[in-house]
Amino acid sequence: MTEFQKLSCGIPGLDEILGGFVTPSTVLVAGTAGVGKTTMSLHILSNATKNGEKTLYVPITTESSDKFQDYVSTLEFYDDSIEIHEINRQNAEKDPLSTLIDIGNVVSSANPDRIVIDPITPLGFGFVEQEKRRFFYTLDSMIQEWNALVILTGELFEDEIHTTVISHLADGIIYLFREEVGFRTDKYLKIIKMRGIDPQIKSNYSSQKIHYDVSSEGFKIYPRLKPDENTEFEDTKIESGIKGFDPLLGDGIPKASSILIEGEPGTGKTIFSLQYIMNGLINGEPCIIVTYEEIPQQIILEASKFGWNLQSYIDEGVLKFIYTNPVDVHPAKHESFIKSNVEEMGAKRIVFDGIVNMEMTIQDPIKLRGHFQAVINYLKSKNVTSLFTTEILPGKEEITTSHDASFIMDIVVVMEYTKSSEQIKNNLHIMKSRRTSHDPQLKEYQITDSGIEILNDS
């Protein structure tokens, strides 16, 4: 009786989704040209080779060996210990049975743990449907004897997957595809089926489009951000760093809460966020600033006007900037980058400055809200206190960004101007707070050479 085992997928992010591949088994990786099937396959084999497995790559191709070597020389992850057995595509299409015998002989000789045939679809190309089925049933019988993890790539559209006999023989099917989103093209994968996977894991991925990237560094998958389930929350408060603000929240901000600072342009939202970060840095807390509009150098210069030397904390490794162009970034990739930096630094405070810009990335209001909810829930699970800034229309307490972001935040602070015949005043008030009481009254504040200061009631 065959003994099934779990192996690492060998693709960053895929183990997190699947928990690994089952072996022996057959996995079909399907998609049209240029979506990354070959890169994914070679990345899987390379990491397996580095872990001591025997691997075999069988490209069915019209390209020369030199051209293939030129291609793999551009791949930073590639391990040249992979055994390569090239098959001419024209010959494979003309005489698939001889090709099948050839592949079987190579597998018997090499006795590999993982095998990739890339692509499988040219085999049986000229057969009528009944002959094609018999051919692939023969291939399936051979694969059962190989006792290996076999990955077959297929040049298929999604609707073709369900009609091809190959899909019925595969234990798992991964479909790769492109999608136009605004000004960019995103790559996604779907796990159409995967036998031997925990039912709970299967239910988590069955309806998902999962974002991935392909580059010379390899095939990288970005699972959606999830909170750490083993966190113990700390029922404590932290200082904001803004003079006179903490008493408005019952003597401080609840740790691991999310704060939204919304206000008209020029009301000091970024200054408020930098003052909050500086307080954390002074108290020895690693911090992150995520900015979508201003580049880090601009923010560092702005902070220096208040005597805050952010560069020194960057040099010490306790402050990091994440500068993101919202036109180019995918939400799942952005979430993954935030997660890796939070965990690498052990961050305690994080600022997202100008979340209005994320609308360029996520135009669907429900998905936008889901993105912020995922980020907030993850940060809470890591006991990280997060602060977000956004804009409102002048003279209105109405969010013009992030579509209902205020509903998912723990604390919402509005900063605004009030005009009279004699002067313009800066005022703020706390619209809501969870986990603590708050003073709902309008409070005047001023921006001084040392930052924002809440004025005493006169």
pLDDT at 206: 64
**Span 53-107, pLDDT tens digits:** 999 999 999 888 889 999 999 999 999 999 999 999 999 888 889 999 999 999 9
Domain edge (last residue) among 222, 245, 265: 222
Torsion sign over Cα 26, 30, 33, 38: negative
8 A C-beta contact, residue 174 and residue 191: yes
Domain span at 257: 237-454
Q: Are residue 156 and residue 212 in the same domain, yes or no?
A: yes
Give pLDDT, residue 397.
47
| Structural tokens at position 37 | 């099937």
Give the pLDDT of residue 207.
63
For residue 402, the model assigns a pLDDT of 45
Q: 180 falls in which pLDDT band (50, 70, 90)?
A: confident
Domain final position from 181, 197, 222: 222
Contact criterion met (CB below 8 Å) for 387 and 261: yes
Evaluate whether residue 300 is within a structural domain.
yes
CATH number of the structural domain spanning residue 123? 3.40.50.300
Per-residue confidence (pLDDT) for residue 225, from 0 to 100: 87
How far does Cα 235 stand from its chain's mean position? Answer: 30
Please check whether residues 43 and 140 belong to one and the same domain. Answer: yes
Token reading at 316: 């010490």
Q: Are residues 197 and 149 in the same domain?
A: yes
Position 261 confidence tier, pLDDT thresholds 50, 70, 90:
very high
pLDDT at 166 over 70: yes
In a domain, 48, yes or no: yes
For the chain, the domain total comes to 2
Residue 350 lies in a domain: yes
Q: What is the pLDDT of residues 18-47, one digit of tens each?
A: 889 999 999 999 999 999 999 999 999 999
pLDDT in the model for residue 12? 85
Residue 47 lies in a domain: yes
Share of the chain above pLDDT 90, in %: 62
Q: Average pLDDT, stretch 221-240?
A: 85
Statement to judge: residues 113 and 184 lie in one domain: yes
For 333-340, what is the mean pLDDT?
A: 91
Structure tokens at 314: 């960057």
Can you tell me the distance from the alpha carbon of 191 to that of 205, in angstroms, rounded to the nearest whole number? 7
Q: What are the two backbone dihedrals, phi and then psi, of residue 320, each rounded to the nearest 5 degrees?
A: -135, 140
What is the pTM for the complete model shown?
0.82
230 lies in some domain: no
Greater model confidence, 361 or 169: 169
Residues 292 and 330 occupy one common structural domain? yes
pLDDT in the model for residue 145: 93
The percent of residues above 70 in pLDDT, for the chain, comes to 93
pLDDT of residue 2: 59
Last residue of a domain, one of 168, 192, 222: 222
Q: In 162-252, which residue ranges form alpha helices assigned H by DSSP?
A: 165-169, 199-205
Regarding whether 149 and 54 lie in a shared domain, the answer is yes
Residues 189 and 251 in one domain: no
In a domain, 258, yes or no: yes
Band of the pLDDT at 374, cuts 50, 70, 90? very high
pLDDT for the residue 184: 76
CA distance 35 to 118: 13
Kindly state whether residues 253 and 166 are assigned to the same domain: no
**Structure confidence at residue 1 (pLDDT):** 47
| Residues 195 and 164 grouped into a single domain | yes
Same domain, residue pair 119 and 262:
no
pLDDT, position 408? 87
Are both 173 and 292 inside the same structural domain?
A: no
**123 and 255 housed in the same domain:** no
pLDDT number for residue 5 = 87
DSSP string, 301-362: HHHHTTT--HHHHHHHTSEEEEE--TTT--HHHHHHHHHHHHHHHT-SEEEEE-GGGGGGT-
- pLDDT band at residue 399 using 50, 70 and 90 as cut-offs: very low
Residue 232 lies in a domain: no
Find all residues with CB under 8 Å of 207, minimum gap 6, and list them: none
231 falls within a domain: no
If pLDDT is split at 50, 70 and 90, which confidence band does 294 have?
confident
Dump pLDDT digits (tens) for 275-293.
999 999 999 999 999 998 8
